[in-house]
Structure formats: structure tokens, C-alpha cells
Amino acid sequence: MLTTSTVRGIAASGAAHQVRIGRDYHYYGEARYLACDTCGDQRTVTEDGARAAAESHLVGDHGVCTACRTEFSSLPWLLGLLSLAAVLVAMIVAS
């Protein structure tokens, strides 16, 4: 599973909880997954409801506050920056 984003929150007890939203490819197509690092729960979710399902898992199962902090994976940004740099170098070399 390729982790595409993470939803984190802190419970009233002070414990930090995290659910990873990931993407995987199978012979029948693309699938979105939730993987809870706290309880080990893994489930398949729809593309549109992945973030809402992660937040509802944290609120319902772990008692996390509703103001969850979200972080995105930096991999797509790094790949985009590397591609842009390669294009710029190719343009400079060609001129």
C-alpha cells in the first residue's frame, strides 16, 4: 500500500492516534485503504469518502477530537519538482 495521506489526532487522554490513507493497484483496478496505526484496523474505502472515513474512525473508535490534523505525503511534490528540474535542464541543454 502506498500511503498518500495521514490523518492524526490526539485523544482526551493525551494519546496520539494516526490513520494512514493509502492506494493500491490490483488486477481489477485501483483501491483505497485505511490503516490505523493504533489498533491495526484495515479496511477498503471509496475514493470520495477516504478522509471522512479516517476521521470517523478516529472519533468513533479512539475518542479523538474532531479537529484532526492532516498531512499529505511529500512524495508527489518531490517527483513533480524533480520532473520540473529535468525539463528545465533539457531546455537549457537544447538551446
| Three-state DSSP state, 56 | helix
Domains: count for the chain: 1
Q: pLDDT, tens digit, for every residue of 52-69?
A: 888 888 888 888 875 545
Cβ-count burial 38-69 (b if 16+ within 10 Å, e if not): beeeeeebeeeebbebbbebbbeebebeeebe
The boundaries of the domain holding residue 71 are 2-94
Name residues of the chain where pLDDT drops below 70.
Answer: 1, 66-73
- pTM, two decimals, is 0.62
Instruction: Determine the pLDDT at residue 31.
Output: 83
Q: Are 16 and 36 in contact (CB under 8 A)?
A: no
Three cell numbers written together for 58: 478516529
